[in-house]
Structure 1
Amino acid sequence: MTAPIELRTARLVLSIPTGDDVDDITSACQDESVQRWTTVPSPYSRRDAETFVRDFVTAGWETGKTRTWAIRLASELDGDGRSATLVGMIGLEGIEDGAAEIGYWLAPVARGAGIMSEAVAAVIDHAFAADGVGLQRVQWRAYRGNRPSARVAHGAGLRFEGTRRLGAVGRSGREDEWTAAILNTDERSSAPGWPAEAVGG
């Protein structure tokens, strides 16, 4: 079993989501962008959030195959180190043979302030650290057109690896998918090679 690990940055605390976060998760997952660009159930109910926290998150940490963190603002921590507000989610999935996939979403209220970029950098640091997960490769995938997610991945140093034609299954059927990855030997800076439609102005 892998004990949940808390990560901290200048502005954020990344910690395991709990039952206290169910309402915040339910609310955030009503957002049109979260529904469009992620694989959360649609429509999304409170029961979906309860199942996510109770089953998916817990099982992932127990098996070591998935590490999921709630993104919280350090400025909102109370005296016991707890934050009442969850503003997003980030995780490593499919941890195996030195590799994993990173995924993330952010609530509308927290967008536009670089919060996800900060969270992604922290998770990639943890993924590659010898005292973290010790991975060699972190992969990212997104439906083609998800420019906010692509810009975060690009800024974190991931290298674009291509567009998989009809490589993903969306809510309305198959659609194109962007893929990128970073190795533990890569520089953590924006790399060339990304298409303008993904990261352009």
Structure 2
Amino acid sequence: MSETPFVQGIAKFVSTSAAAGEIGAHRPFPVHGTLLTLDVPRAADAPEVAAACQDPGIQRFTTVPVPFGPEHADNFLNELCPQLWDEGGASWIIRTYDAQTPYVAGTISLRVGLEKTANVGYWIAPEWRGRGLMREALQLAVTTAFNLLGFECVILEAHPDNLASIRVAWHCGFRFGGILRGIGLHQGQREDRAVATLLQGDPLEPATEWTDLVKRLQLSDRGNTSD
């Protein structure tokens, strides 16, 4: 493995098997932010992951199994997360601290797509919402995707009712192309998805007014606390 410079101001080096500018298997590594760390998942995180995934919103708007038990947390941490790294993507625990005690606030993952694209997915536990954590986690993840992992475009697909995830992506500069009919699958049922992209070099700030986006996509702005 070669040593590749990491994102300036976050970490110094990370080992990677991918050639410069290409996508390939990476050894898992952390990314340090101001409010949180995108941390390497570990088996000891299972109880907190399992507890968070009892949240009805996480079960409704993500692909976690329902019901979600300890065995699903173990599988996620020990099988699915390493698989994403092996494929050239990434999967992190959003780890934050309260009085120097670490907590699992959520997860964020990058799944390899076609032509140097990555699909991003994330959730945050209810007790950590509204603190700016998810916004910072997404900014760190996409910066890493572009500057280190070789991606040129990050894609988000969110249920149109998931105003929280949509608003986080909007805050981070994602541009929404529209709502595509039936491209999502949840519990065996086809669902619509709001689709957004962020390109390498795009500013990590809103590209439009939130009210304009709500109107254009005909979203129901319920004032959800998003980040």
TM-score, length-scaled by structure 2: 0.79
* Alpha-carbon distance in structure 1 between the residues aligned to 2:149 and 2:66: 32
Shift in CA distance, 155/3, structure 1 to aligned 2, threshold 3 Å: same
8 Å contact from structure 1 (residues 138, 181) kept in 2: yes
2:4 counterpart residue number: none
Structure 1: 4+ residue segments shifted above 2 A: 74-78, 192-201
Shift in CA distance, 97/172, structure 1 to aligned 2, threshold 3 Å: closer
8 Å contact from structure 2 (residues 161, 220) kept in 1: no
Q: 1:136 aligns with which of 152, 168, 178?
A: 152
Q: Secondary structure of 2:173's partner?
A: coil
* Alpha-carbon distance in structure 2 between the residues aligned to 1:90 and 1:76: 23
Deviates more, 1:167-176 or 1:155-164: 167-176
Shift in CA distance, 42/96, structure 1 to aligned 2, threshold 3 Å: same
1:70 counterpart residue number: 93
Shift in CA distance, 124/76, structure 1 to aligned 2, threshold 3 Å: farther
Deviates more, 1:186-195 or 1:113-122: 186-195
How many residues are aligned here?
193
Q: 1:44 aligns with which of 52, 68, 72?
A: 68
After superposition, give the CA deviation of every residue in 1:28-65 in whole Å (9 maximum; x if it has no partner). Answer: 0000000000010000010011111111111221232x
Q: Secondary structure of 1:195's partner?
A: helix
Unaligned runs of 5+ in 2: 1-24
8 Å contact from structure 2 (residues 158, 165) kept in 1: yes
1:100 counterpart residue number: 118
Deviates more, 1:173-182 or 1:39-48: 173-182
Q: 1:171 aligns with which of 187, 191, 209?
A: 187
TM-score, length-scaled by structure 1: 0.89
* Alpha-carbon distance in structure 2 between the residues aligned to 1:119 and 1:189: 14
8 Å contact from structure 2 (residues 31, 37) kept in 1: yes
Query: 1:74 Cα deviation (Å)?
Result: 4.2
CA RMSD of aligned residues (A): 1.8
Shift in CA distance, 199/9, structure 1 to aligned 2, threshold 3 Å: farther
* Alpha-carbon distance in structure 2 between the residues aligned to 1:113 and 1:146: 18
Q: 2:39 aligns with which of 7, 10, 15?
A: 15
Shift in CA distance, 76/16, structure 1 to aligned 2, threshold 3 Å: farther
Q: Secondary structure of 2:138's partner?
A: helix
Identity %: 32
* Alpha-carbon distance in structure 2 between the residues aligned to 1:44 and 1:159: 32
Q: Secondary structure of 2:44's partner?
A: helix
Shift in CA distance, 172/144, structure 1 to aligned 2, threshold 3 Å: farther
* Alpha-carbon distance in structure 1 between the residues aligned to 2:161 and 2:200: 27
